[in-house]
Chain A
């Protein structure tokens, strides 16, 4: 502010001097014009120096201008310095960030909305065989051409990570996860899961082998138990224990059979085959078998709202459906009702089993399909069952692109529903045509 007053005073002083000179020597107007012109010229020179300095700011020291101009220049210098400080800090932060993402043990790739590569770290380059800088701007699915990955990108459902064989390094496995963020951009994370996959394979092999090995001795044991049970020479006091042993041996047989079925489902890669399967007839047969059983609920009903079938593996579907039915029968009292329903709609085909049994508390529902998971250890064990039924259902459905939902209320009963996608549905018309063609042949 002081500078401005000073400048004003100086201007006023100059004008007074010009006026005095005008009065002394005559030509007042000319004197005033002369002084004002000189003042203007001086200001223009200053302005030019400031302009020149601003243009080449980085190379030159600020001009040494007094007064108002010096003030302005000082402001600019201060502003500039502050800005440079912030910029440096940002650059530093950015570098640090880059360095830390580059050092991540997982591969990170930034993708644009069109799945073009924007940036990737060193690990991603090593895992996926990317090259810098030629690959920046290329579409990721042009370089990772594995069909599953292309589908994964297109499906836009990134909830579950995708495990693929990478383009480089034959024997390894990669887990890819896409995380969308911001305006259409996404982050592709790549992780080497070879070890986990190997462990998983070992576990599966172990289960399959162990079940297989257990089968033979168990057959021998149950064979002898069968003979002993029918042997009149045995002391009658042994008949109780022998009966128990036979029952337990049968249960073990069932568990092993389920384990083998499960490991078969797990080891079968990819989708289930697409054989035409007549689901309504299968369900009718299952209902007949259930009604023929001894200890069963009073009503076992079947509602066939649709005559559609499915494209799938018949025995896997049957095993899934019968596991659900057997569960329902097991947990329903003798005066209860078990309903089966088969229907199809715009989304696909559905199969539901509803019972009026004991129900399942809500907190257990998400874990039902885990192996050997028991809602109530004591109660379910004496009803038999291997604890693998629902795991089998889940795997069989997965192989058909389907899924299972469970609704339940404690004390009122439960509903297990299998959902199949539309592409798996064999419409009744198509089934009849296929049947006619087969008959004509």
Chain B
């Protein structure tokens, strides 16, 4: 596998730098994952303090993004990496942007959750939203796992799940419209829920983006704006080839 590229290097320092920045990305990912979990828990359990803490902790994600960005620029300037290493750096720079956006969406969810905690809770206790939240959190988790393992197959599989998230988003949207028509007093809450669901759907898109970067990093194929079926074919073809 191409993973070996990371470990066989002329300059040991370069290796260490690359490893370090990759670790930082995954640490940032871990923190973002936790933020997302907390935000969803805050909503489901009506914990306004937890929601607020998610919103106030977002600055840490931003800080991590900046420091990883700096580290990447430093590596680009000092080492002028080529081929696989260059792809790793490029993928990292893109990944952290998406992670930061996920953090922002998480912040939004936390903030709205803390506001919703003071309102009356619906009978289903946001079951649908919770389910969607789980699904999206799992997607982010799988995307980061694929990143850690440099596993293009897993990345592709995760990217495909985005479709399910979109479907779920549609169905909650319809449900919210029904609520609003049934009871105008619920409009305010339904609108807030819409924001949250929208944020979750966006997080799913960002997770999908990360998966695409993983595929790019491993196979050197830019698969953005390509249908996933074509991508699957390309990956299979790339794996059938002997190692470059």
Chain A: CB-nearest residue to B149:
A134
Determine whether A145 belongs to the interface, using a CB cutoff of 8 Å to chain B: yes
Encoded as 1 (CB less than 8 Å from any A CB) or 0, chain B from 147 to 160 comes to 01101000000000
On chain B, the residues within 8 Å of A150 by CB distance are 27, 30
On chain B, the residues within 8 Å of A134 by CB distance are 149, 151
Partner of B145, one of A141, A143, A147, A165: A143
Question: A145, B144: Cβ atoms under 8 Å?
Answer: yes
B102 smallest CB distance to A (angstroms): 13
A436 smallest CB distance to B (angstroms): 25
B177 smallest CB distance to A (angstroms): 29
On chain A, the residues within 8 Å of B23 by CB distance are 139, 141-142
Q: Would A165 and B37 be within 8 Å (CB), given that A134-B151, A138-B148, A142-B148 are in contact?
A: yes
Determine whether B173 belongs to the interface, using a CB cutoff of 8 Å to chain A: no
Partner of B27, one of A129, A145, A167: A145
Within 66-102 of B, Cβ neighbours of A (below 8 Å) are at: none
Question: B148, A147: Cβ atoms under 8 Å?
Answer: no
Q: Would A135 and B149 be within 8 Å (CB), given that A146-B34, A165-B37, A170-B134 are in contact?
A: yes
Determine whether A131 belongs to the interface, using a CB cutoff of 8 Å to chain B: yes
- Assembled-state Cα–Cα distance A135/B154 (Å): 13
Q: Would A147 and B34 be within 8 Å (CB), given that A141-B23, A141-B27, A142-B23 are in contact?
A: yes
Chain A: CB-nearest residue to B47:
A269
Partner of B30, one of A129, A131, A138, A146: A146
For the residues of A in contact with B, the DSSP-based class is loop
Partner of A141, one of B26, B34, B37, B149: B26
Within 110-163 of A, Cβ neighbours of B (below 8 Å) are at: 129, 131, 134-135, 138-139, 141-143, 145-147, 150
- Assembled-state Cα–Cα distance A135/B29 (Å): 18
B98 smallest CB distance to A (angstroms): 16
Determine whether B65 belongs to the interface, using a CB cutoff of 8 Å to chain A: no
Determine whether B179 belongs to the interface, using a CB cutoff of 8 Å to chain A: no
On chain A, the residues within 8 Å of B31 by CB distance are 145, 147
On chain A, the residues within 8 Å of B144 by CB distance are 145
Encoded as 1 (CB less than 8 Å from any B CB) or 0, chain A from 226 to 249 comes to 000000000000000000000000
Q: Interface on A for B, CB 8 Å cutoff?
A: 129, 131, 134-135, 138-139, 141-143, 145-147, 150, 165, 167, 170
Pairs of residues from A and B, 4 with the lowest C-beta to C-beta distance, nearest first: A145-B30, A142-B148, A142-B26, A147-B31
Question: 6 interchain pairs (CB within 8 A)?
Answer: A134-B149, A135-B149, A141-B27, A141-B30, A145-B144, A147-B27
